Amino acid sequence: MNNYCAFSKKHKCLKWMDYELTRMELEEADSLCHENWIEIQRLYKRIDILETLLNDAGIEIPHTYLD
C-alpha cells in the first residue's frame, strides 16, 4: 500500500491514513498486552511463593479462594 492517490487533489490516499492509524493502535495494544502479561506472570510467581510459605507454615488455604 502506498500514500499516493491519483483521484485526490493533494494526492493523499484516505485509506493510507486509516492504515497508519490502525497500525499505530495495534502497536499500542500489543505493547499494553505484553506489559500486562509480564505483570500477570510476576503476580503468579508471587502467589506461588506465598502459597508455599502458607503451606510450609501449616496454614490451609480455603478452597473458596482457589477457584
Q: Which residues contact 55 (CB under 8 A, 6 or more apart)?
A: 61
**pLDDT tens digits for range 6-60:** 666 666 677 778 888 999 999 999 999 999 999 999 999 999 999 999 999 999 8
Residue 61's pLDDT is: 85
Residue 5's pLDDT is: 66
Type and span of the H or E element at 41: helix 14-56
- 8 A C-beta contact, residue 13 and residue 3: yes
4, β-bridge pairs: 12
Whole-number Cα distances in Å, 14 to 7, 9, 22, 26, 49: 11, 12, 13, 19, 53
Residue 58's pLDDT is: 94
